Amino acid sequence: MADNNTIARPYAQAVFELANEAGVLAEWSESLQVAAQLLGSGDVAKYLSDPAFSDEQRLEFLTGLFAKGKAALLAGKDKHGTNFLKLLLEYGRVAVLPEIAEHFEALKADIENTVDVTVTSAAKLSAEQQSAISKALAERLGRSIRLETEIDETLIGGAVIKAGDIVIDGSLRARLEGLSNALIN
């Protein structure tokens, strides 16, 4: 069985190309994010897998659900969005919508030359610290930075920075684990 990311990649690429050509990247991004949130728990996908439902009933359910969730392009108001949902339903791929949204966002970030960065620290970062981290990462990565912060008190001190595939672990916990491993060996 194929991995969800493997399945999602061509769908995300196709939707991205369509959205980019039409100049509606932001609208597709928002719709896919809402869809990913609604389908992320797995309960909706499990409900949709009931063989008692036809594809038309599934489509009607999804468009109604997405309309309530403000996923305008997937709520039956756009022929491309409706066709996209029909395609996912026909091939049993609705459950991979969260992964499709993730790949779409990566493609969008590449074209916009941005990167999402998550900084996890033991304590709340000040605005100055956030600015300094953003500036340093922008210089290092050569891209615009969208910074998000999280707090994890188990880090004791320092921070863990995640930017795409790059992870910089400057936490005190990681340093103590490294020291512990060095003493054991």
pLDDT(1) > 60: no
Q: What are phi and psi of 96, to 5 degrees?
A: -95, 10
Rounded-to-integer distance, Cα 84 and Cα 101, Å? 13
**In the chain, pLDDT over 90 holds for what percent of residues?**
34
Q: How far is Cα of residue 34 from the mean position of the Cα atoms in its chain?
A: 11
pLDDT at 102: 92
Structure-block tokens of residue 158: 């320092």
Specify the 3-state DSSP secondary structure of 23.
Answer: coil
pLDDT at 69: 67
Q: 151 - beta bridge partners?
A: 121
pLDDT tens for 80-102 read 888 998 999 889 888 899 999 99
Rounded-to-integer distance, Cα 48 and Cα 61, Å? 9
Q: Which residue has the higher pLDDT, 104 or 170?
A: 104
Average pLDDT over residues 66-93: 82
0.85 exceeded by the pTM? Answer: no
pLDDT grade for 2, boundaries at 50, 70 and 90: low
pLDDT(34) > 60: yes
Average pLDDT over residues 128-141: 92
pLDDT at 147: 92
Residues of the chain with CATH 1.10.520.20: 4-109
- CATH number attached to the domain at 4-109: 1.10.520.20
pLDDT tens for 151-160 read 998 888 888 9
Residue bearing tokens 């797995």: 42
